[in-house]
A and B are shown apart, each in its own frame.
Chain A
Amino acid sequence: MFSDDTFLARWLSGELTDKEKQDFEQDPEHQSYVTLIKDIGALRAPNFNEVKVFKELRSRLSTPQEAKTTIIYWGWLRAIAAVVVLGLSVWSLYPIKEVNVTTGVAENKKLVLPDGSQVSMQGGSALYYAPKLWKKDRTLDLRGEAFFQVKPGRTFTVKSRGGQIEVVGTSFNVVAIGDALAVQCFSGKVRVTDASTQNRQYLLQPGDFVQLHAAENRPLYSKSTNLPKIEQGQCNFYVASLEEVFAKMEAQFNVSIANKEKYQSRRFTGAFRNDNLELALKMVCIPMELRYSLENQLVKIEDK
C-alpha cells in the first residue's frame, strides 16, 4: 500500500507532500499508525543516573594504571635472569603452603582471611588459598557455597570449575557445584567470567544474579527484582536445577536423596532452611508439587 519503503519514516518526520499526506489520511490503516506512535510516545528508556555513572567513571579513571615498562640494561638483565632461575628452583623445593578449609555436612564455618575479608561457608564446601601469597594475590578456589565480604584492595578472585569471579571490595554469594556456578551480588561490583566460553563476562551490580552451567549454553542473567533475599540459615536458589537443590540438601543434612537425578531439568527458585530437614523438604516439595518420604536418613521424592 505504500508508494516506497521510506514512506512511514517520512510521514513521521513530516516530510510527506500534501498530496501524499491527504491520501494516507484517507487510508483505513492510518489511524492504527497514529495510535502506535502515541502509545510509544508514552514510554521512555530506563532512567539514567548520570551523576552516579559519572562518579564511577571518575573513580575508574583515577585508579592507577598498570606499571609502565622500565628500561633495563642488558648487563642487569642477565643478573636478574639468574636470580629468577634460582628463585624458581627454591620455589619448587618449598611449595607454597595452601590452606584447605572444608565444612562437613550441615556445618557452617566463618573464617577471616589474612586481609580481614570474611567468608561464611555453607555445609559440604571446600576452600583453598595460600596465606603467604595473599598480600599479592587474593585468589582462592571454592567448591560448594560461600558468602563473601571483601575488604577493599587488590582484585579478589574466586575460582571454581564453572567460572571465575573478580571483585574489588564488595559482598556476594557463590554457589559452585560441579560445573554449575551461580553468583549473586549484594554490594559493589562483581565481574564473572564463564569458564566454558572464555570471553563471556558479566558485570554484576547490587541485586544482579548470574547462573552459568557448562552443559547449558544459555546462561541466566537477571536483574534481581524477584530474587529471594539471602538470609542467614537458609540455602537460596534462583532458577536452579532441582537436582542441584537436592544435592545441596544432601550435603547440608547428611542424608541421601534417592532419585534426585530425575529432577535435573526442573527449575526451582526459592530457599530452604538449613537447620530442619523436614521443613527444608516441605519448603521445596510443596511448591514443586512433589511428595517426599523420609526413612533412616534416606529420602525418596515422587511426583504427586
Chain B
Amino acid sequence: MSNQIHETVCEEKTFEHLFHVHGQVIRNFLYYKSGSLSLAEDWLQEAFIKLWQECEKVSVEKARSFLFKVANNIFLDHARHQKVVLKFEQKSNSDSINPENPHFLLETSELHTELEKAISGLPEHQRIVFLMNRFDDLKYAEIAELLNISVKAVEKRMHGALVTLRQVLKSI
C-alpha cells in the first residue's frame, strides 16, 4: 500500500497505464473540438510528452486534469476558426440493424449523416459536453471537473444540446 503513495508518473509502467486509461478520452475531446483525427492524435501525444517532461511534479491522481489542461492549451495555440465536421462510427452491436433490408439501411445511413451534421453544428461548449457524456460515458461531475466549470453549467449545456438537436432533427 505504501508504495502506491510514492508512485510517480515517471515510472514507465505508470505512464503507459495513464495512456491506456486516459488516452482515448483526451483524443476524443480534442477531436470534438477540432474535427481532425490526425491533429487530435498529434496533440494527444504532445500532451503526454509534456506530462513526461513534468512527471515529477504531477501525481497520478492529478494526471488526468493535468493532461486535459495541457491538451486544451495546445488546442488553443493551434485554434483554427473553421467549421468542425465530425464523423462517427456505427456501433457494430446495434441490434436494430437488419442487413436484409436495404431500404432500412439507407434510412439508417441518412440518419447517421443527419446526426453527424446536427452534432457538428452545435455550439462548441454544448458539443463537447454532450459528446463527452454520450460517447465517453463521463458523468456531469467529471466533465465539470475536467472543463473547470460547475456541474450546473454542464447540465445547462447538456439540456441546451438536446433541445437544439431535437429541433434540428425534427424535420427529418
Interface positions of A (Cβ within 8 A of B): 2, 5-10, 12-13, 29, 32-33, 36, 39-48, 50, 53-54, 56-57, 60-61, 199-205, 208, 218, 221, 223
Q: In the complex, how many residue pairs between chain A and chain B have their CB atoms under 8 Å apart? A: 114
Q: A44–B27 contact, CB under 8 A?
A: no
Q: A45–B156 contact, CB under 8 A?
A: no
How many chain B residues touch A (CB < 8 A): the figure is 53
Q: A43–B166 contact, CB under 8 A?
A: no
When distances are taken between beta carbons in the complex, the residues of chain B under 8 Å from A13 are 139-140
Contact residues of B: prevailing secondary structure = helix
When distances are taken between beta carbons in the complex, the residues of chain B under 8 Å from A41 are 91, 134
Q: A36–B162 contact, CB under 8 A?
A: yes
Docked Cα-Cα span, A43 to B96, in Å, equals 12
Could you say which of B23, B91, B152 contacts A6, with CB atoms under 8 Å apart?
Answer: B152
Give chain B interface residues in 51-83, CB to chain A under 8 Å: 52, 78, 80, 82
Could you say which of A9, A33, A36 contacts B140, with CB atoms under 8 Å apart?
Answer: A9
Docked Cα-Cα span, A199 to B41, in Å, equals 19
Q: B162–A223 contact, CB under 8 A?
A: no
When distances are taken between beta carbons in the complex, the residues of chain B under 8 Å from A47 are 89
Docked Cα-Cα span, A128 to B45, in Å, equals 34
10 A-B interface contacts by CB (under 8 A): A8-B159, A9-B154, A10-B155, A32-B166, A39-B115, A43-B88, A44-B90, A46-B31, A54-B23, A202-B39
Q: A57–B48 contact, CB under 8 A?
A: yes
Contact residues of A: prevailing secondary structure = mixed
B137 to chain A, nearest CB (A): 10
Could you say which of A45, A61, A221 contacts B36, with CB atoms under 8 Å apart?
Answer: A221
A47 to chain B, nearest CB (A): 6
A220 to chain B, nearest CB (A): 10
Docked Cα-Cα span, A46 to B28, in Å, equals 8
Closest to A185 in B: B38
Could you say which of B39, B45, B133 contacts A60, with CB atoms under 8 Å apart?
Answer: B45
Supposing A32-B170, A43-B90, A203-B38 touch, asked if A54 and B159 sit within 8 A by C-beta, the answer is no
B161 to chain A, nearest CB (A): 9
A275 to chain B, nearest CB (A): 35
A226 to chain B, nearest CB (A): 13
Q: B87–A46 contact, CB under 8 A?
A: yes
Closest to B130 in A: A40
Q: B16–A54 contact, CB under 8 A?
A: yes
Q: B166–A9 contact, CB under 8 A?
A: no
Give chain B interface residues in 81-124, CB to chain A under 8 Å: 82, 87-91, 94, 96, 111-112, 115, 119
Could you say which of B36, B82, B156 contacts A9, with CB atoms under 8 Å apart?
Answer: B156
Could you say which of B49, B80, B139, B158 contacts A57, with CB atoms under 8 Å apart?
Answer: B49
